[in-house]
């Protein structure tokens, strides 16, 4: 395999630190590695494969050293500024923000679903929204087999999806302190509000799921609606997904399709209380699917319960998988 020079931008954040963990576990062929952050966090130390590295401030000259791949999780405005600079210097950026996701010139990739789109990148590849990633891992094999007509998403999203401040709001809220990140207390509460509200009454998170699903699945004709909800869970997003197909299906066959799908673990034994739970998905890279049952209100519908670690598969792991696919492509 080709050895690469790799950079992590936003190295001190929640996703940035998880990048390091996943990179260590997956043992990528890294020749040199660099860590960048804002001026505020520059000078701090991170440990990778037992060695300490000083985090550098991300600047316009950071990529003047032949870096092949940069994993970005430093926010949209940082990515908008620095991704084109990195790309112009021959680096491929895998960006975890929403800055490039809907840009028609930028691939939006979940490797289990559309790894072929990596090939047409022009120096930037977008990592989808965490809630979208686990959903499309579950839906793509079913779309290929039965042709999806309509999707109804209802999400139950962990506070870690809002970063360290979201995590702190739940920790401190359980001690009775007022929220700093969320508009209302999240402890012992449920907020039907993720990101900002749009003129049509949907939130930006809901719009992201709708638009990103269509782009990743390569089907703009899909009819999709979404309600995204923040719940008092530290880590692991859960989703109720209702799907209507154009073709009839056999339930046992559909379960087998999911069992054979890449990146999926089916946990579906309700008689023994076996179904996906965020507490067990946390720390894992797979997407867990259960509560698989026919929607009896329509001719060809199914209900799924889909759970994944939103910081790993929903962010860091997906980005590292994209990097792995790039290295494979370059090694051919």
Active site residues: 130, 237
- Listed in sequence order, the residues at least 6 apart from 200 whose beta carbon sits closer than 8 Å to its beta carbon are none
- Listed in sequence order, the residues at least 6 apart from 26 whose beta carbon sits closer than 8 Å to its beta carbon are 320, 324
Q: By three-state DSSP, how is residue 33 classified? A: strand
- Listed in sequence order, the residues at least 6 apart from 231 whose beta carbon sits closer than 8 Å to its beta carbon are 156, 157, 158, 186, 190, 238
Interior/surface letters 143-181, b for 16+ CB within 10 angstroms, e for the rest: bebbebbebbbebbbbbbbbbeebbbbbebbeeeeebeb
Q: Is 249 exposed, middle or buried (0-12, 13-18, 19+ CB in 10 A)?
A: middle
């Amino acid at each position: 395999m080709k050895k690469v020079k790799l950079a992590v931008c936003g190295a001190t954040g929640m996703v940035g630190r998880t990048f390091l963990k996943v990179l260590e576990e997956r043992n990528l062929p890294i020749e040199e590695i660099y860590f960048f952050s804002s001026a505020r966090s520059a000078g701090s130390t991170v440990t990778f494969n037992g060695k300490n590295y000083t985090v550098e401030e991300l600047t316009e000259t950071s990529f003047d050293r032949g870096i092949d791949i940069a994993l970005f999780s430093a926010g949209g405005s940082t990515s908008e500024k620095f991704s084109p600079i990195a790309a112009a210097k021959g680096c491929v950026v895998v960006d975890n923000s929403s800055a490039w996701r809907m840009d028609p010139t930028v691939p939006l990739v979940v490797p289990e679903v559309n790894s072929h789109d990596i090939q047409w990148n022009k120096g930037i590849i977008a990592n989808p929204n965490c809630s979208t990633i686990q959903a499309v891992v579950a839906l793509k094999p079913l779309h290929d087999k039965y042709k999806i007509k309509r999707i109804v998403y209802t999400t139950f999203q962990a506070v870690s999806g809002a970063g360290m401040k979201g995590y702190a709001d739940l920790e401190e809220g359980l001690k009775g302190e007022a929220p700093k990140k969320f508009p209302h207390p999240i402890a012992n509460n449920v907020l039907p509000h993720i990101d900002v509200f749009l003129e049509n009454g949907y939130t930006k998170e809901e719009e992201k799921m709708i638009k990103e699903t269509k782009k990743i699945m390569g089907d703009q004709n899909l009819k999709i609606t979404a309600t995204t909800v923040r719940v008092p869970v530290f880590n692991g997003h859960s989703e109720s997904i209702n799907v209507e197909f154009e073709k009839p299906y056999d339930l046992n066959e559909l379960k087998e399709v999911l069992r054979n799908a890449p990146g999926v673990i089916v946990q579906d034994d309700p008689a023994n209380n076996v179904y996906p739970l965020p507490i067990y998905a946390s720390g894992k890279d797979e997407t867990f699917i259960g509560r698989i049952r026919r929607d009896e209100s329509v001719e060809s519908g199914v209900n799924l319960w889909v759970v994944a670690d939103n910081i790993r598969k929903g962010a860091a792991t997906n980005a590292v998988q994209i990097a792995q696919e790039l290295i494979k492509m370059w090694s051919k």
